[in-house]
Amino acid sequence: MSKKSYAVLGLFETPDALMHAIPKLRAAKLGLVEAYTPYPIHGIDDALGLRRSPLGGMVLVMGVLGALTAFGFQYWISAIDYPIITGGKSAASWEAFVPIMFEVTVLFATFTAGLGMLLLLNRLPFFGHPILSSKAMKGITRDRYALALEAESEAFDSAAAAQALEAAGAVDIEVLPAPDRSPFLTSDYILRTLGGIFVACLVAGLGIYSLIKWFPLLAPMKYMQDQPRLNAQKASTFFKDGHGMQPPVPGTVARGYLPTATGTQEASATLVNPLPRTKDVFAQGRKVYTNRCEVCHGALANGAGSLTAAYGAKPANLQAQQFRDYPDGKIYWAVVNGKNAMPAHAAYLTEYQRWAVVHYVRALQRAQNATDEDLKVVAP
């Protein structure tokens, strides 16, 4: 028998024979007794003196951690980071968190039970165990029950172990070599691991990038920005003239640009200024007057605007008695339709602006022809 032998394996044909042999072998104290069976055998953990599995405690701890994690996560999101009132409940009311707390508890506990059992307690996956390549393995996962005496120290005597197994009733004896536990932390291994992690990160990063940026833009996937629509300034086959942008149909009136005062100026005399005399209205009127009127009629509405010299026509002096006697409606009509050389301003002044400028013209007229009573009004 080889010196390097690690364990001696004896096969038994029935679970009864296996159970009878265990106390004998343990009493012989030749090495660690381990059983290999096709299915769990009742009472074998006591017979082998195995300690109770700590899995229950692990699962409990992780389950509680799962519940707390879920609660903290939901509370932070719903009550602190992104509070939204739903159903009239307080943003911090915790009752709605219970279902997800339960699910996360189960999730944590399950992964602890499954992976903790495999990875931590059973140290699987491990493909280097000698029993996996032994002749007996075929029987062990089928219908044979094996006991192994495993070396605990250098002094392991495989010949004595084999004898003890035979004496205990084993039908087939096999000597196993040491498990192939390749050295773990060599520099080569570490380098390769780091390289592997780097490559994995690279692949994962590129994968996620393409998954988020490129994959969603592939053919059958549609976004709102890709819907068929007419863009202004773009050609379109939808309309006969080939333009994406169409002029409004004739007679279209924009909001606020009602074509009032379409008759003669005399007919408009009865129109009443609908705007109140407020600060805002006068401010608006002043703005319009400055932008549109002042250049011809002058800042004081006396017909002495800055354009006068270069301009052939002579703008009206609105301070003249004739215009001071005009009703509001006639000024309004002139603003909308123009008069003599004055162009119509309806196209770019809203109804509000037109009436506001009428108020402002009235104010200018009054300012230039103020009476003593006007001063009294202003004084306080």
Partner 1 sequence: MRTDASVHAVPIPEGLLEPALTVGKVTPGSLDDQVLAFPETKPPKQWYLALAVTLSALAVGVACIGYTFTTGIGAWGNSSPVFWAFDIINFVFWVGIGHAGTLISAILFLFRKRWRNAIARFAEAMTIFAVMCAVIFPLIHVGRPWLAYWLFPYPNERALWTNFRSPLLWDVFAVNTYFSVSLMFWYLGLIPDIASMRDRTTSKLRKTIYTILALGWRGAASHWQHYEKAYLLLAGLATGLVLSVHSVVSFDFATSVVPGWHMTIFPPYFVAGAIFAGFSMVVIVLVVVRETMQLKNLITMRHLDVMNKVILSMSCIMAYSYMMEGFTAWYSMNEYLHHGFMNIITGTYGWAGWVTISCNIFIPQLLWFKKCRSSYFWMILVAIGVTIGMWFERFVIIVISLHQDYLPSAWRIYKPTMIDFGILLGTFGLFFTLVLIFARVLPVIATTEVKAILPDAQPSHGGSHE
Position 65 contacts partner 1 (CB under 8 A): no
Dig out the tokens for 119 from the structure: 């990875």
Torsion angle, alpha carbons of 131, 135, 137, 141, to 10: -170
With CB under 8 A as the contact rule, the residue among 2, 127, 321, 347 that binds partner 1 is 127
Position 77: which residue type?
I
Q: Which is nearer to partner 1, 188 or 226 (CB)?
A: 226
Name 150's bridge partners.
7, 32
Q: At 80, is the secondary structure helix, strand, or coil?
A: helix
Residue-wise over 357-372: b if at least 16 C-beta within 10 A, else e?
A: bbbbbbbbbeeeeeee
Position 292 contacts partner 1 (CB under 8 A): no
Q: At 317, is the secondary structure helix, strand, or coil?
A: coil
Stretch that binds partner 1, among 106-114, 198-206, 336-344, 369-377 (CB under 8 A): 106-114
With CB under 8 A as the contact rule, the residue among 1, 27, 92, 96 that binds partner 1 is 96
Position 48 contacts partner 1 (CB under 8 A): yes
Position 27 contacts partner 1 (CB under 8 A): no
Position 342 contacts partner 1 (CB under 8 A): no
Q: Which positions from 181 through 240 interact with partner 1, judged by CB under 8 A?
A: 215-216, 220-223
| Residue 219, C-beta contacts closer than 8 angstroms, at least 6 positions apart | none
Q: Which is nearer to partner 1, 44 or 299 (CB)?
A: 44
Dig out the tokens for 202 from the structure: 């690279």
Stretch that binds partner 1, among 34-42, 159-167, 254-262, 319-327 (CB under 8 A): 34-42
Position 62 contacts partner 1 (CB under 8 A): no
CB of 105 to partner 1, least distance (A): 9
Please report, for residues 117, 238, 331, 357, the alpha-carbon distance to residue 270 in angstroms, rounded to integers and kept in the order given.
Answer: 97, 48, 11, 18
With CB under 8 A as the contact rule, the residue among 61, 64, 92, 111 that binds partner 1 is 111
CB of 159 to partner 1, least distance (A): 24
CB of 30 to partner 1, least distance (A): 17
Each as own residue / partner, the long-range contacts of residues 20-26 (CB below 8 Å, 24 or more positions apart, any chain) are 20/168, 20/169, 21/147, 21/165, 21/168, 21/169, 21/170, 22/47, 22/48, 22/147, 23/47, 24/164, 24/167, 24/168, 25/147, 25/149, 25/164, 25/165, 25/168
Cα(239)–Cα(272) distance, rounded to whole angstroms? 44
With CB under 8 A as the contact rule, the residue among 4, 27, 102, 368 that binds partner 1 is 102
Position 45 contacts partner 1 (CB under 8 A): yes
According to DSSP, the β-strands at 145-150 and 172-176 are: unpaired
CB of 155 to partner 1, least distance (A): 23
Q: Which is nearer to partner 1, 89 or 234 (CB)?
A: 89
Position 103 contacts partner 1 (CB under 8 A): yes
CB of 260 to partner 1, least distance (A): 40
Cα(334)–Cα(341) distance, rounded to whole angstroms? 11
Cα(24)–Cα(161) distance, rounded to whole angstroms? 12
Position 90 contacts partner 1 (CB under 8 A): no
CB of 177 to partner 1, least distance (A): 15
Position 72 contacts partner 1 (CB under 8 A): no
With CB under 8 A as the contact rule, the residue among 24, 26, 37, 169 that binds partner 1 is 37
Using the Cα atoms of residue 7, residue 11, residue 16 and residue 20 in order, give the sign of their dihedral. Answer: negative
Stretch that binds partner 1, among 117-125, 191-199, 334-342, 365-373 (CB under 8 A): 117-125
Stretch that binds partner 1, among 52-60, 182-190, 247-255, 326-334 (CB under 8 A): 52-60
Stretch that binds partner 1, among 11-19, 192-200, 277-285, 315-323 (CB under 8 A): 11-19
Dig out the tokens for 2 from the structure: 């080889």
CB of 69 to partner 1, least distance (A): 12
Q: What angle do CA 263, 266, 272 make, to 5 degrees?
A: 85
